[in-house]
Amino acid sequence: MAKLIIATDIHGLSPELNELFSPLLATDLGYEVTLLSPWFDEKRPEGTEAEWVTHFLAKDGVTRYASHIAACASGDAAVIIGFSVGATAAWHYVAQAVCHPQSRAYLFYGSRIRDAVDLLVRCRTHLLFAEHEASFDPHQLIERFVSPQVEAEVLTGLYHGFMNPLHQHFDRQRADLEIARIAQDIRSMQC
């Protein structure tokens, strides 16, 4: 059975995310679905979202999370969907030799990808950045991607976190649209 790996943002797993992703969890897609959290080997620390990110980065979280994605994919072709730190970790994973070249990645607002633009990905990768990012201009960033494997776009009017029901910038309508688009892509891959 093909694999679908969803790498969550710094908030980790939640019932709200399970509900949001329910169209991707549907058995008719024919995928073994795994939802991953950046807190796979420890409890999310107390504090604010900014403190969680600081803690995650201080413990080499991107590398550890990328390794966790690799372990879940186990060398097989997979569809990988990542959000924020999950997107950044997935970006690092899809550039590793262990990433199957028939994999496909959809990476949402992985803001730290800007620190690793030069990685050469091994599979088709779609980068989706929110227009409004606090620490960089996504329009300038997407101009730096030159690989034919990478498609990058800026989603107008949206803010970092728009795909997570627990985030202040959650946009249900756009999140549903993006999930439906991915589900349609997955169905078309099976033909």
Q: How confident is the model at residue 171 (pLDDT cuts 50, 70, 90)?
A: very high
Range of lowest pLDDT (13-22, 24-33, 47-56, 175-184): 24-33
What CA–CA distance (Å, rounded) separates 161 from 78?
24
DSSP codes of every residue in 26-57: -GGG-EEEEEE-TTTTSPPPSS-HHHHHHHHH
What number of helices (H) and strands (E) belong to the chain?
A: 7, 6
Among 101, 99, 96, 127, residue whose Cα is nearest residue 113? 127
Mean pLDDT of the chain: 93
Q: What are the residues whose beta carbons fall under 8 Å from the beta carbon of 6, sequence distance 6 or more?
A: 21, 24, 33, 34, 35, 36, 81, 82, 86
DSSP codes of every residue in 112-156: GGGGGTT---SSEEEEEEEEE-SSS-HHHHHTT---TTEEEEEEE
Report, as an integer, the average pLDDT of 95-106: 97
Report, as an integer, the average pLDDT of 67-80: 97
Residue scoring higher pLDDT (145 or 87): 87
Report, as an integer, the average pLDDT of 69-74: 97
Residue scoring higher pLDDT (185 or 129): 129
Options 3.30.1310.10, 3.90.930.12, 3.30.1360.40, 3.40.50.1820; CATH for 2-189 is 3.40.50.1820
Q: Does the pLDDT value for residue 191 go beyond 50? A: no
* pLDDT at position 2: 86
Q: Model's pTM, two decimal places?
A: 0.95
What CA–CA distance (Å, rounded) separates 178 from 37?
20
Q: How confident is the model at residue 27 (pLDDT cuts 50, 70, 90)?
A: low
